[in-house]
């Protein structure tokens, strides 16, 4: 049996999850690849019977989450890299969504990863090592009209991961947020969930944004295989970052957002600062470093 790391990946049937599983197996890592329909991984299972385990997992099903994590540890003895990749995008203005769509978006993109991390953390702490990777998006840092629901779920995931990274100091466990730009996966097509109560007269941005995504489907600049190789390189490095941006477009959008925030807050600096009680020492939010 290989002594290389054990990777646990959600959403392995397509997209980044599938590309990552294939690349890891080619590099002789051990992989627990999960999918709602594990039969979609039969080709890989037949090719890599010793180093791949395909597991049924709907990340919104807590019983399946606990069973998948326990099964992975029972099979390979440990989990070294936990990858929360499963997710999808919702397109629509806030008023256009039905309640069920809003809750399902967060159940998949946010609560699912939380349940998986909580199920795995006791084992990672016991082995005093591990790396948690949460797939976000450029939309986890920059929000766009008619993508607010999806972006909100990824903003929440990023906030949780930032805090988690600090909580894990001293336990030997690292956490990284992956922020891809536009890559040639199924995200722009079959993975999209469009708001059920579209009102184009009120919110033309929904059709505009969905149309732009579909028009560019298959034309995205990002190569998923190069992206997953970068992720593996990052995990194998001595000092992995909290954030790994993938694609020149991701860097451009996030750097523009950072500058926009600076320009937005600066004119009101004096007004905002003068809201403290006189003579009070101002410390850092969350405690000084």
150 is catalytic: yes
- The catalytically annotated residue of 12, 48, 137, 154 is 154
Record the tokens describing residue 152, joined without a space. Answer: 């909100």
Contact 101, 195 (CB under 8 A): yes
Catalytic (active site) residue 154: yes
- Give the closest residue to 98 by CA, choosing from 34, 193, 181: 193
Are 52 and 31 in contact by the 8 Å Cβ rule? The answer is yes
Residue tagged active-site, from 12, 13, 90, 136: 136
Signed CA dihedral, 224, 206, 157, 78: sign only: negative
Q: Using an 8 Å Cβ cutoff, are 85 and 21 in contact?
A: no
Check if 190 is active-site. Answer: no
From the list 88, 150, 153, 174, the catalytic residue is: 150
Largest CA distance in the chain: 71
Q: Is 54 helix (H, G, I), strand (E, B) or coil?
A: strand
CA distance 231 to 30: 16
Residues known to be catalytic: 136, 150, 154
């Amino acid at each position: 049996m290989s002594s290389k790391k054990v990777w646990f990946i959600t959403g392995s049937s397509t997209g980044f999850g599938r590309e990552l599983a294939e690349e890891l197996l080619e590099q002789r890592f051990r992989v627990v690849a999960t999918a709602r329909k594990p039969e979609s991984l039969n080709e890989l299972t037949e090719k890599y019977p010793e180093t791949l385990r395909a597991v049924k997992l709907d990340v919104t099903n807590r019983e399946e989450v606990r069973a998948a994590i326990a099964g992975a540890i029972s099979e390979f003895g440990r989990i070294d890299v936990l990858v929360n990749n499963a997710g999808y995008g919702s397109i629509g203005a806030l008023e256009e969504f039905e309640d069920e769509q809003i809750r399902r978006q967060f159940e998949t993109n946010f609560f699912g990863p939380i349940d998986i991390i909580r199920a795995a953390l006791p084992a990672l702490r016991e082995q005093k090592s591990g790396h948690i990777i949460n797939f976000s998006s450029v939309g986890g840092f920059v929000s766009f009209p008619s993508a607010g629901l999806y972006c909100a779920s990824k903003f929440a995931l990023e906030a949780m991961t930032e805090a988690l990274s600090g909580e894990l100091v001293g336990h030997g466990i690292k956490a990284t947020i992956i922020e891809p730009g536009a890559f040639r996966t199924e995200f722009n097509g079959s993975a999209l969930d469009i708001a059920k109560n579209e009102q184009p007269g009120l919110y033309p941005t929904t059709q505009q944004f969905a149309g732009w995504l579909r028009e560019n489907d298959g034309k995205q600049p990002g190569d998923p295989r190069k992206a997953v190789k970068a992720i593996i390189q990052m995990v194998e490095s001595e000092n992995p970052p909290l954030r790994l941006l993938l694609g020149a477009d991701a860097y451009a959008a996030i750097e523009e957002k950072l500058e926009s925030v600076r320009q937005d807050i600066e004119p009101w600096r004096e007004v905002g600062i003068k809201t403290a009680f006189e003579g009070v020492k101002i410390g850092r939010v969350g405690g000084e470093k």
